[in-house]
Structure 1
Amino acid sequence: MTPTPLRTLLHPTQWPRWIGSSLGTRIVVLFLGLLLLVQAASFFAIRASIDRNARASITEELQVGERVLTRVLDQNAQKLAEGASLLAADYGFRAAVSSNDADTIASVLANHGERIGATVTALLDTEFHLRAAAQPGLQELLPVTQRLAARALASKRASEIVVLGQRPFQLVMVPMRAPVVVGWVLMGFPIDQRLVDDMHALSSLQVSLQVRADASAKWSTAVSTLPLATRDQLEKQAALSLDRVNGRTEAASSAAMTLSLLDNEYSGRTVMLAEHDGAAVSALLLRSVDDAVAPYRQLQLGLAALTLVSVLVFGIGSVLTARHVTTPLRRLATAAERLGAGDYSTPLRGLDRSDELGDVARAFERMRENIGEQQDEILKLAYWDPLTALPNRLQFRNAVRDAIVAAGKAGRTVSVIMLDLDRFKHVNDVLGYRFGDLLLRGVAERLTQQAVRGGDLVARLGGDEFAVLLAGLDPATDLALTGTVAKRIQQAFDAALTLEDQTVDISASLGLANWPQHADDADVLLSRAEVAMYIAKRHHDGPMVYDPALDAASSQTLSLLSELRHAVDHDELRLYLQPKLALNNARVVGAEALVRWQHPRRGLLPPMEFIPFAEQTGFIRVLTLWIFEQTAQMWKRLHDGGQTLTISVNLSTRDLLDPELPQKFDALLVRHSVPAEAFCLEITESAIMDDPQRAQATLDKLSALGFRLSIDDFGTGYSSLAYLKRLPVDELKIDKSFVINMEKDLDDARIVRSTIDLAHGLGLTVVAEGVENAQVWELLRELACDEAQGFHMGRPMPAAEFARWSTGWSTRQAMTISTGKGPDIPITLH
């Protein structure tokens, strides 16, 4: 995750509402928040470390406890085995065994067992039958004796832990020899509370012995150092771990476990002590996690106290720091409000600081001084033209607006005369911009001299455009007076201007407009006067008064774009096709897609009525996509009807500069299931030359998609050959200006021949447009031109009629065009 910058955190939008938008509050909250975050991270890290170390220490303690328990059991077994060995070697006991005196043997067994702490003492014969016992009911031990005897023969003694009456016992068995084995001495003592208490005292571990009488029985607690209240929980939670350990080899007969007893967590380790025929004895060693962690609680409490003290200290420091930072900022904010209110005279206090805030304050003070010095100049520049010292466009507009308000109250009118110098650019080009500035000053002086009343205002609107305001006019004579002033101004320019010994003849075009006759407000009045002025510049017929008829073309242009959009959305455009024929056999091989506009009021409009405007506004891209999609649909219908043609579509400059055009065309091809080879895209040389690099990139992508490319109007450009060798074109289309009269004009015929030879030399197809008669057709065929297009074969026709025309033409291919008569097919003019 990308970290959030500090400046973003300090932004008011990044804080909860209760914090507020005060910078000082945010500084305090930020400092304390960072401190608490660090302390919290430290607290949890220490807590996790304590817990981890405590558990590691507990694990080690449990392992040590397991070794201690094993060692204690081994020592007890050794002690018991030594006592049994002493008894087996006792002369009196051996004599009693030899005399087979059962009572004496039992008495000796009981006395000796009592001396060494054994509660089980018995003598077995060599067949492991019980000969004598100090205690009754020892028959269940006989299966154990055979296992013990097998080990005792090899090591002179053997020991084993067994379950007797739900109690664990440790048994040892030693042979009695004389000198051969004449019997076996068996002794055992219970593993009781004393043993687990000793373990607890030695290791601080809680020890519980769990026993199971057979495989079907449940585990039960024989002895334990835990309170009685935990026995049920202990047996339930330990059972699963005990069953998992049960049956492992001796080397792996232990496992770790975690128990929860009386809301205390214990880490434990089970040690399987014995397991035979389903009966088992297991020791459960436990260590309280809470007790292990308890010594560290004081450390955590100390850390919490340190955190509280740190928060207090940081809080005081943050408040002081925030106050130190925000106090000068508040002063700067107050000063900024004064500057915003226009007070540039009150100096800023607190400039004696030597830190960054002091630098900001001093820079702010310098800014106040500079703004104060520049304010007058700014106001002057905002309302006055610095070159001529006349009011500028803004002041003139405000003056017109105020004059309209005053005239409306007084029942008067307002007129504006707009003036634009003729040939001023020529003056700049010939005499330079400095002289042009001198000329503008001279024009301003001459206009000022023509003001006839004190209320008239002369202004320079920009460039070589000036204006005169005539306010408070009598409605009965306003236009007459305005026309008189305009003529006088125009006559004033009849006299040449002499500047620096240079005499310049200058003239001006003037337009007039009146409020309220021609406009409702100041902006419209200025616009109408400007329209009249541009009409006067075109007609050169003296001052022109605004006439709504003069502005009709502009209004029509403003609405034309919306009408074009409406035409596309409401199916007012019509697709037309003009056929293209192969010159060698007069077969229809293609057509050029054209567009007409079925205007709801003006009728069927030719392309020249709207295509140039569409190219200027960029709407041509929409028209191109409309033509392409309609052509794709038409090609599909012709192809399904058995006619396979190549249809040409014209691309404009704006189309070529659209990097997404190839993807748009490709999507339309996929939508209508039409191959790219069905289209030939025609491009003019001028379209390519507007931006050759971008145009070629677009053409390369179109060619890669499979489109045929054609250079339209070839021969009329000026860089054809320079780019022709690099463009991925397939066809050249000779402009009709060379074709239409080639049978009469030898130069045109030579140009056409050279173009055909050039194209064929480059491996390109040649199409001649503008074929108007059979003579031109025959000449082109003799020159080996590939295809022809023109009124002699067929004019542009609605797409719906093209299929019928093409079928009719094909049925009459036997009639040759070269006869001069042409095919006997009526040519419909569209």
Structure 2
Amino acid sequence: MPVQASVEQEPGFLNRALRTLSGCNRALLRATDETALYQEICRVVVEQAGYRFAWVGRAEHDPGKSITHLAQTGLDLDYASSLRLTWANAELGRGPAGTAIRTGKICISHDVQSDPALGPWREGALERGIASLLSLPLWVEEEIFGSFDIGALEPNAFGAQEVELLSQAAEDLGFGIATLRTRTRAAEAEATIKRMAYSDALTGLPNRVRLRELLEEAIVAAKQERRPLGLLQLEVGRSREINEVLGYHEADRLQQEIANRLVQTAGAANPVARVGECEFAVLMPSGGAEQASQLAQRILVALDEPIELSGLFLDARASIGIALYPGHGTDPEALIRRGSIALEQAKRSSTGYALFKGGLDLECAQRMALMGDLRRAIEHNELLLHYQPKLQIATNKVCGSEALVRWQHPQHGLIAPDQFIKLAESTGLITPLTYWVLDAALAQRYAWHEEGIERPVSVNLSARDLRDPKLLERINGSFATWGAQSDWIEFELTESALMEDPVTAMETLVRLKNLDAQLAIDDFGTGYSSLAYLQQLPVDSLKIDQSFVTRMTCDDGSAKIVHSIIELAHNLDLTVVAEGVEDQATLTQLGRLGCDIAQGYTISRPIPAEQFRDWEAHSTWH
């Protein structure tokens, strides 16, 4: 049992223990780094509270069970670093620090002069005026991390009340360490998400999302300085042949070698991006048609040199399309679109590259005509909804579907959703399109309800929808029309849409949640929302972007980011949906990682509502 300090001494001892506790709490509030926290706590104990020394050590799990000195105040550094400390059950492990770590209990040496356990260190301690010692085990995340040691000038210094206060300080320090580690892990996860969202996993180059940002920044600078810029889009052939003959590993090596050559040829001033499986882009921030053509020629020469794969020498067969600011467009979308058109022209060219050809007036006229057709299609109910099933992985059962709009144009045939949805967003038609989708989905949901099928249907909302002041009124009206329950429809909002105007988005989400609506963040991992913002969102689920999911079985980085998102979502009590599940191997791996729901071609392509029941009857999912 510890020997109590004298009554006359006790108030003074308690005061310095209280100063320790108070100073430690202030240090914890300001802490941003573990090492700095240890040192600050030691400084507080000696300089503010008045103890002789303070020391923090970490318990190692090496064969000798050594204790590593992390921080101290009140002892010379050479002496503190030279102490031979261990927490093994041996002579050098029976001192206060070793005993506290080994047993997990507070250890007090009331009199250094007479304590037999301090034999190996008695002389050094007495020379430095240390008469009594307190060693407190440091618990971090339910494990003993090390010890927090305090020395006093007086023998019998550590009475019961003083030890209780100092124990609270040690508990707070352990909690502070755990909190810092949690913050560090969260910051690392957020940095990984950001890196994966803006970088191509295979080559490390900027991806399509980042290219658009770089292009937007370059256009702003070019406009200010009144100079042109160029965008070169490349497509490299033979990747499919290499996949079939040599396998995906060699095909990936080909893409990496092409990326290296592009970076070397383009130079540091011209960023290179990988924007597709066999597609790259080079941004030329300064220069017109002549400079862009010369750069294209240099790239073709660099790629013309055969690439060695598995003992074979293969050429890359690249084609390059060029679009220029301001002649071919003044915004990223226009330049990317016209660069793609020029790329198709280049494939038919003998030179291997082509400048965009085609008048702005013609393209604008085509867009205006298509915009009018889309407006009429919405007003006359000429669009279609297909439904892509969602599978609950644990039960192997269909648990819902996503409503995806399709447009069969009478002259142009089936128009890709991305094409007309972007047109709708840029022309203000996205709101009536969203209302049409909502009404059509509710009509189908009502039909399924009549058949006894009770599964939610997901409907997408855009950034413009979130700013629509009539959105909630229209949703309420549609729900009333069909007698819908709140669980009939789930609203999906892309992460990038939320980040366009976080304040308005938050207000709209809260209002939607007040309707008991189910809310999901779509394409998670591409919009770079902060973890703090995510935690505040009143959402129910996260959908991992398919760019991560499709590569997770062949790329460790993608697998790690998927795992991180699943853990993050579950820690926030959110359901996790993986989209873009293209094969059974990916589905199996998602199940092992604890993902809740899967969506993708390995389960089913989007199908018309009238085929849904027949599909389910003949599928392996029930």
TM-score band (shorter)? Answer: 0.3 to 0.5
Normalising by the residue count of structure 2, what TM-score does the alignment of the two structures yield? 0.44
Structure 1 or 2, whichever has the larger Rg, is 1
Normalising by the residue count of structure 1, what TM-score does the alignment of the two structures yield? 0.33
